[in-house]
Amino acid sequence: MTTFDPTEHQHIRFNPLKDEWVLVSPHRAKRPWTGQVEKVPEDNIPRKDSKNPLCPGSIRSSGKVNPEYEGTYVFRNDFEALLEDGPGPAESDDPLFQAAPAYGTCQVMCFHPWSDVTLPIMEQKDVRAVVDKWAEMNKELGQKYKYVQIFENKGAMMGCSNPHPHCQIWASSFLPNELRVKDRTQKEFYQKYKKPMLIDYLNKESIKMERVVLESEHWVWLVPYWAVWPYETMLLPKRHVLRIEDLQDKEREDLCLIMKKLLSKYDNMFNISFPYSMGWHGAPTGGSLKEDNNHWQLHAIYYPPLLRSATVKKFMVGYEMLAQSQRDLTAEQAADKLRGLSDVHYKLQNKAE
Ligand code: H2U
């Protein structure tokens, strides 16, 4: 019998953070594509468009007018999914009909006054303003709420409604599912092995070097062993850090540099503004601020939907919806591909020469 080769033979891999398995089928990567083809992301975005509700000076759908902001700008979402108050459901003792009150706030954060820039092509100081604002918002909303989810949906393919560089911040009175699972798995690992799971993982990946794409003084960017999306990646500080506001000045500065590089690599993959959903995961806040959260390690996750070209997207349907996530390309092959790409953004390459 032939010996097992992870780049040739199907297998399942375990994600200890999410307590789930992924099916890896590398032999399928060779199949021809006859599926759906997406539109290439638009590239001619005007710098300022008074009709765009996220631009400085624009009127939003609520009738509110944005100030002529010059840096980052945060406003309360005009269509909040979570409101600060309101009546909640009564407690139920029926295990099949459980409900609980849910409170919160949803904010929109513009990264820059210009619509035609993205994080990889923004100046370092402007990216730093974004990082500082993320930290400030997490700290501020975390005083009141159990969890603050900072996330960026980029590109129409990810359902992003607006090309202006922005992210969203949703704070909730409850711990959302993804975080609830990660909290449990990291706690169990910590109790069993007496060390934070992701610090241990990072140390092991830094020795193996099969999936690390970029490493800086304070950060590591890698394709997780258990990645599901074709070019899914994780960005981790090397030091044990619980929440984004705990990042020190030098770690924030270095974060801006590595983020610009990793996002340039993504964009350079197909010479487009690479679509993705990304977000920060860190220790819970609110009442948890007083508890021991040393099992946690801050990390950012990037979930890009693209598979083999600017127009071919990976669909999470069928077997994935009904049974288990599946990928063709191995995590190591994805890391290799990302390592081979320039970390200078294609739009800036001539300027860098
Ligand atoms: P996306 O990140 O999915 O593109 O969402 C942008 C958010 O901006 C969206 O949640 C909000 C939408 O509700 N928004 C306003 O609050 N006011 C507006 O005038 C336009 C968009």
Ligand 1 contact via 309 beta carbon (within 6 Å): no
pLDDT tens-digit map of 43-87: 789 999 999 999 999 999 999 999 999 999 999 999 999 999 999
- Tell me if 9 is assigned to some domain: no
**Is residue 120 very low, low, confident or very high in pLDDT (cuts 50, 70, 90)?**
very high
- Tell me if 330 is assigned to some domain: yes
* Of 345, 339, 352, 337, nearest in space to 307 by CA: 337
Computed over every residue of the chain, the mean pLDDT equals 94
Distance 75 CA to ligand 1 centre (A): 10
Distance 297 CA to ligand 1 centre (A): 30
Ligand 1 contact via 153 beta carbon (within 6 Å): yes
CA-nearest residue, atom 11 of ligand 1: 77
Q: How many domains does the chain have?
A: 1
* Of 278, 304, 244, nearest in space to 167 by CA: 278
pLDDT tens-digit map of 227-284: 999 999 999 999 999 999 999 999 999 999 999 999 999 999 999 999 999 999 999 9
Ligand 1 contact via 79 beta carbon (within 6 Å): yes
Give the whole-angstrom CA distance, residue 4 versus residue 20: 22
The preferred substitution site among 78, 82, 107, 109 for testing ligand 1, maximizing ligand atoms within 8 Å of CB, is 78
- Tell me if 346 is assigned to some domain: yes
Ligand 1 contact via 347 beta carbon (within 6 Å): no
Ligand 1 contact via 15 beta carbon (within 6 Å): no
- Tell me if 281 is assigned to some domain: yes
* Residue 171 CA neighbour count, 13 Å, CB half: 20
- Tell me if 26 is assigned to some domain: no
- Tell me if 150 is assigned to some domain: yes
Distance 163 CA to ligand 1 centre (A): 11
- Tell me if 30 is assigned to some domain: no
Judge whether 37 and 149 are in contact, CB under 8 Å: no
Distance 235 CA to ligand 1 centre (A): 26
Provide the pLDDT for residue 217: 98
Provide the pLDDT for residue 47: 95
Active-site amino acid positions? 166
- Tell me if 279 is assigned to some domain: yes
Q: Name the amino acid, one letter, at 149.
A: Q
Task: Provide the CATH number for the domain around residue 50.
Answer: 3.30.428.10
Q: What is the domain extent for residue 319?
A: 46-89+98-350
The preferred substitution site among 161, 169, 278 for testing ligand 1, maximizing ligand atoms within 8 Å of CB, is 161
Give the whole-angstrom CA distance, residue 242 versus residue 288: 12
Provide the pLDDT for residue 7: 87
